Amino acid sequence: MEIKGFIQNSLLEWEGRLSCVLFLPFCNLRCRYCHAAHLLEPVELESIPRQQVLSYVRRQRDWLDGAVITGGEPTLHGEALLELIADIHAAGPPVMVETNGTRPLWVGRLVSEGLVERIAMDVKAPLSPDSYRKVTDREVNVEDLRASIRSIIGSGLSHEFRITVVPGLVGPEDVERIAPELKGAETVVLQNFQPDHCLDPALREVAPYRPEEMDAMAQVFEGVARRVTVRGRERGIAARGSGVPAG
């Protein structure tokens, strides 16, 4: 397993914490609003030596509040992902993994074996095959998604579910259909998509939702999750910090 991108300092991925971010290659979905097309099939993307990353983490262990592993889809790497998590823990900081939830065996291991301190799962659409295919351009077993959701909510582990909303693709009616699936969640995060650099060129001409529309969709989760936040409003988007993904 290779690391294809590394951000030294970010305040975005793990709210309230200064974290470094590791980007792993490959994904089993092709979400139309994806901004990480360079990670999907990174044949020519330069790798970052693991020891270089771990050396930085060790040096900054008194400053970093966490390390976030994202992608791509990290769980595609199986045991190699678990080894990377162990290496990061040995270097110091707690670990958060971001996943699309399509591989419930590995999601279940992450939460049940105490391998991470926090997990974030993207919920792309209402949990029906057609809805997911519309967003991800792939066939998805929605029962696998439900299994991952149940594992995460039932684990007692710190967690969040993220929903990216896109006019004409994922909107208020879709949010209302998603909400019952996340009953009992710790945190639900609504993210306003950003049109620049979307995988689907047609979405680059679509205007994001207005702040008041985002607020209205967030209200759907009152009584569903213990906490609801809105990220990516037009009036201000958090910056990642220093460093950029390789590529």
Q: What is the pLDDT of residues 124-162, one digit of tens each?
A: 999 999 999 999 999 999 999 999 999 999 999 999 999
Cβ atoms within 10 Å of 85's Cβ, excluding its own: 18
Question: Nearest CA to 109 among 87, 71, 86, 82?
Answer: 82
**Please, which pLDDT band fits residue 236 given cuts at 50, 70 and 90?**
very low
Rg of the Cα trace of the chain?
17
- Rounded to an integer, the average pLDDT of 153-173 is 95
- The residue whose two tokens read 């099939």 is 41
Under the banding of pLDDT at 50, 70 and 90, the label for residue 237 is very low
- The domain spans of the chain are 5-231
Which CATH class, in words, describes the domain spanning 5-231?
alpha beta
- At 29-77, the pLDDT tens digits run 999 999 888 888 766 778 999 999 999 999 998 899 999 999 999 999 9
Residue 156 CA to residue 49 CA, distance in Å, equals 34
Mean of pLDDT over the chain: 90
What pLDDT is attached to residue 243?
38
- Percent of the chain's residues with pLDDT above 70: 93
Checking 178-181 for CB contacts under 8 A at 24+ apart, the result is 178/123, 178/125, 178/126, 178/127, 179/220, 179/221, 179/224, 180/224, 181/123, 181/127, 181/146, 181/149
Query: What's the pTM?
Result: 0.90
* pLDDT band with cut points at 50, 70 and 90 for residue 98: very high
* 235 has pLDDT over 90: no
